[in-house]
């Protein structure tokens, strides 16, 4: 079953833009509450993190369902994670700080929670820049190694999230649980593939 050339594909592309439209609507109708700029950060950051989780969920789903051709979706969701993360960063620099670099610099240096956000974005940026078939060919074996950094990115994103909170940890804990399962799946696969080698040794 090939998902690439059927009707699901364009709908997925459009569907991933709904959170953005929803946000634009809420901004236009002043629905973001007393601190709309913080609400903007949370909204965009949430969606970047959600798309990272969805991206990581594609491989396990493929394994369980034995569907073929889902790697295009993995790439699409990954690019959307990059898209929302970029808006999140732009929101911080422009909507919040209006490019006051001195304040931005001090804010980043003094806020350890932002370091994790910077790390996560740096990785996602690199992955997005090397997503093309051309880059994949050129990088050869190291492409796969590079793209495994998504695991670090998603962990950094969750730390970035909960490290800034004063109290309520319910939501970041939920993401932590999701990531635990997604990474746990990979750990199990890795262990399973490793065992025969050990036996032969």
Partner 1 sequence: MIVKSQNDIPASEITDPLIFKQRRRIIKAMLATTIAGVGTSAVADDKSIGTNLPKGDFSGELLTPSPANLIKNYTNYYEFAFNKEDSTTLAQSLRIDPWSVEISGEVEKPGTYALEDVLRQQTLKEHIYRFRCVEAWSMVIPWVGFSLRDLLKSVKPLSTARFVKFTSVYQPEAMPRQRANAMLDWPYVEGLRIDEAMHPLTLLAVGMYGDFLPKQNGAPLRLVVPWKYGFKSIKAIVKIELLKTPPTTSWNKFSPGEYGFYANVNPSVAHPRWSQYSERQLGSGFFTPRRRTELFNGYGEQVASLYTDMDLRHFY
Q: Which residues bind partner 1 (CB under 8 A)?
A: 27, 33-38, 40, 94-98, 100, 103, 106-107, 109-114, 163-164, 166-168
Q: Which is nearer to partner 1, 27 or 183 (CB)?
A: 27
Q: Which is nearer to partner 1, 36 or 60 (CB)?
A: 36
Helices 36-65 and 18-28: angle between axes, nearest 10 degrees: 160
Please name the residue that has the structure tokens 């990474």: 183
Question: What CA–CA distance (Å, rounded) separates 188 from 176?
Answer: 18
Least distance (Å) between residue 106 CB and partner 1: 5
DSSP 75: H
Q: Which is nearer to partner 1, 10 or 33 (CB)?
A: 33
Question: Could you tell me the two tokens for 172?
Answer: 């970041």
Least distance (Å) between residue 24 CB and partner 1: 12
> What is the CA 49 to chain-centroid distance, rounded?
4
Q: Residues 116, 76, 138, 193: what is their CA dihedral angle, to the nearest 10 degrees?
A: 80
Q: Which is nearer to partner 1, 42 or 126 (CB)?
A: 42
Q: Which is nearer to partner 1, 94 or 187 (CB)?
A: 94
Least distance (Å) between residue 60 CB and partner 1: 32
Structural element, H or E, at residue 69: none
Least distance (Å) between residue 167 CB and partner 1: 5
Question: Could you tell me the two tokens for 118?
Answer: 């910077």
Least distance (Å) between residue 124 CB and partner 1: 22
Please name the residue that has the structure tokens 């994949």: 136
């Amino acid at each position: 079953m090939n998902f690439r050339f059927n009707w699901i594909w364009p709908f997925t592309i459009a569907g991933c833009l709904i959170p953005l439209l929803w946000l634009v609507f809420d901004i236009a109708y002043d629905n973001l509450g007393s601190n709309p700029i913080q609400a903007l950060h949370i909204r965009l950051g949430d969606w970047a993190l959600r798309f990272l989780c969805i991206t990581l969920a594609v491989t396990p789903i493929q394994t369980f369902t034995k569907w073929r051709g889902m790697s295009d979706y993995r790439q699409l969701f990954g690019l959307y994670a990059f898209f929302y993360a970029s808006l999140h960063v732009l929101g911080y620099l422009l909507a919040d700080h209006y490019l006051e670099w001195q304040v931005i610099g001090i804010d980043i240096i003094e806020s350890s929670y932002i370091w994790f956000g910077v790390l996560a974005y740096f990785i996602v940026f690199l992955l997005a820049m090397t997503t093309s078939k051309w880059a994949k060919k050129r990088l050869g074996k190291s492409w796969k190694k590079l793209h495994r950094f998504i695991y670090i990115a998603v962990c950094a994103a969750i730390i970035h999230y909960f490290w800034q909170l004063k109290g309520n940890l319910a939501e970041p804990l939920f993401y932590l649980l999701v990531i635990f399962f997604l990474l746990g799946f990979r750990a199990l696969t890795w262990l399973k593939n490793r065992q025969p080698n050990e036996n032969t040794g």
